[in-house]
Amino acid sequence: MAKVLAYKQVYQRIHTAIMQGILKPGERLPSARTLAKEMGVARGTVEEGYAILKAEGYIESRGQAGTLVSQHLFDPAKLKPSQVSTRQPGFDTEVATSAVLPFQLGIPALDAFPRQAWARMAARCARNINLDDLTYPSVYGSPQLRIAIAQYLQLARGVQCEPSQVFITSGYVHSINWIAHVLLRPQAKVAVEDPGYPLTRKILANHNVNIVPIAVDGEGINLPPNTQATAVIVTPAHQSPTCVSLSLQRRQVLLDWAEHNQSWIIEDDYDGEYRHTGQPLPALKSLDTQDRVIYSGTFSKVLFPGLRMAYIVVPKSQVPAFEQCSELYGGNVSGLTQACVQTFMQEGHLSRHIQRMRKLYRERRELTARVFKQVLGSRIAIEPQPGGMHMLVKLTDPNIDDAELADKMMQAGLFAQGLSQWSSRPVHPSLILSFTNIGTEEECRELALRLRDIMDSFQVAQDC
């Protein structure tokens, strides 16, 4: 009986992987000897399970090439659309997707990334690896990378900090989770921008804190002086999603509020390097004389999301607390990846790449705004913005449901978010669209025409 259960387990494991698409046609299966060792069963048991799969046509033997999943199981051309997953990334723009959709938020210009320079540098880092590099990396982050980031922030963003204040994380979600675990207690009040990044609210809700929405206007977040909150999360360089910059007066109000209430300011500087007019504004952290600002940065926007690397700069007074918590939240980025980013920064590639991207994003935004106005005309309004990686396309018809329109766009293969999906109060219907990966005028015009067709059909459906 035990033998029957064992070979059935082999059969079911392989059969399920094939049917779920985990094992695809033409992919090689482990040898019977290897799988037997992994499963702790006799080799004959695995061979018996393989024999049933072979008899049913799921796998086939290819001599020295080994045992493969049968090439004749599925014909992708015969798959109906309903059989293909249509799940698209929602609010979490950090969720990995197999392909970048037009207008997808949070994705830098991947076609402009210096892949050859990165590949050469990464290969050199891999060749120069030594025995010490093969151990677990520091839970705080590579010491050399922390030094490089501290130097970069002082020169590029005006943030003065010591390397010990820098902690490496595996992305924005990881950063906010770490900060919340150290500084926030259950039921604490946290002020957030409204409209603001929906994922931030989801993360905070997971920590059982009370969210206090604060309205955003043309000067950024307008925090009332009597606001009672343990912390406030802001995007001062380019407010997400309105793209306005936090004025100098509002910055000072925010800092005074934090000092008076002994509260924390969490600065999300996700695309602070990219300003389309004039020089990039210094980070809010650069004005922090009372050590009340926690600075959050990421390499996903300045390099590429596949790195899964970000960092936080914490107040000196909180370094011991973050170090104590690092056993739970630190050490999530491989040492080799950190070495690659460190070398990329120290050899000057990062600074040059950011300079190129500033010019490119300014050009692509101007192109997108111009073509959209030509194709969509009076249906939309696009206001100038100081910087950022996305634009706010206002719909002139106040009766359009931007969330429903965004859903129709997603179904048609165009990424979109409605402004109402980012706000807890009524807002003018608008679409939040990224322009970073629109490479040519022809491509932009094609996308604008597709959007116009979607809007036409959407309007007809609403009228009916």
Which band of pLDDT confidence, cut at 50, 70 and 90, is reported for residue 24? confident
Task: Give residue-wise pLDDT tens across range 106-147.
Answer: 999 999 999 999 999 999 999 999 998 899 999 999 999 999
Which percentage of the chain shows pLDDT scores above 90? 70
| pLDDT (average), residues 428-435 | 97
What confidence tier does 104 reach under pLDDT thresholds 50, 70, 90? very high
Pairing of strands 220-221, 210-217: antiparallel
pLDDT greater than 90 at residue 175: yes
Q: Give the pLDDT of residue 319.
A: 97
**What size, in residues, is the chain?**
464
pLDDT at 258 over 80: yes
Per-residue model confidence as pLDDT tens digits over 213-225: 999 999 999 999 8
Mean pLDDT value of segment 271-277: 85
Least confident of 30-34, 73-77, 233-237, 363-367: 73-77
Confidence of residue 463 (pLDDT cuts 50, 70, 90): low
Give pLDDT tens digits for 70-101.
887 754 444 343 333 434 444 444 444 447 89
pLDDT, residue 23, reads: 84
CA distance 353 to 54: 53
Give residue 27's pLDDT. Answer: 87
pLDDT recorded at residue 464: 60
Residue 1 has pLDDT above 60, yes or no: no
At residue 261 the predicted structure's pLDDT band, cuts being 50, 70 and 90, is: very high
Instruction: Tell me the average pLDDT across 26-52.
Output: 86
Instruction: Give the number of other Cβ atoms within 10 Å of residue 334's Cβ.
Output: 13
The pLDDT assigned to 3 comes to 44
Please give the pLDDT value at position 20: 79
pLDDT of 199 strictly over 80: yes
Scan for tokens 């723009």, then name that residue.
Answer: 93
Specify the range with the lowest mean pLDDT, choosing from 53-67, 89-103, 264-278, 315-329: 89-103
Q: Let me know: does 387 contact 243? Beta carbons within 8 Å.
A: yes
Strand partners, 266: 233, 294
Average pLDDT over residues 206-219: 96
- Considering only residues 39 and 338, tell me which one the structure prediction assigns the higher pLDDT: 338
Q: How confident is the model at residue 289 (pLDDT cuts 50, 70, 90)?
A: very high
Residue 97 pLDDT: 45
pLDDT of 10 reads 87
- pTM for the model stands at 0.82
Rounded to the nearest 10 degrees, how much is the dihedral formed by the CA atoms of 171, 177, 182, 187? 150
**CB contact at 8 A, 265 and 291:** no
Round to whole Å and give the CA distance between 363 and 441.
11
Is the pLDDT confidence value at 171 over 50?
A: yes
Q: Are 118 and 306 in contact (CB under 8 A)?
A: no
| Whole-number Å distance between alpha carbons of 241 and 195 | 7
The rounded mean pLDDT for the chain is 89
Contact partners, residue 377, CB within 8 Å, separation at least 6: none
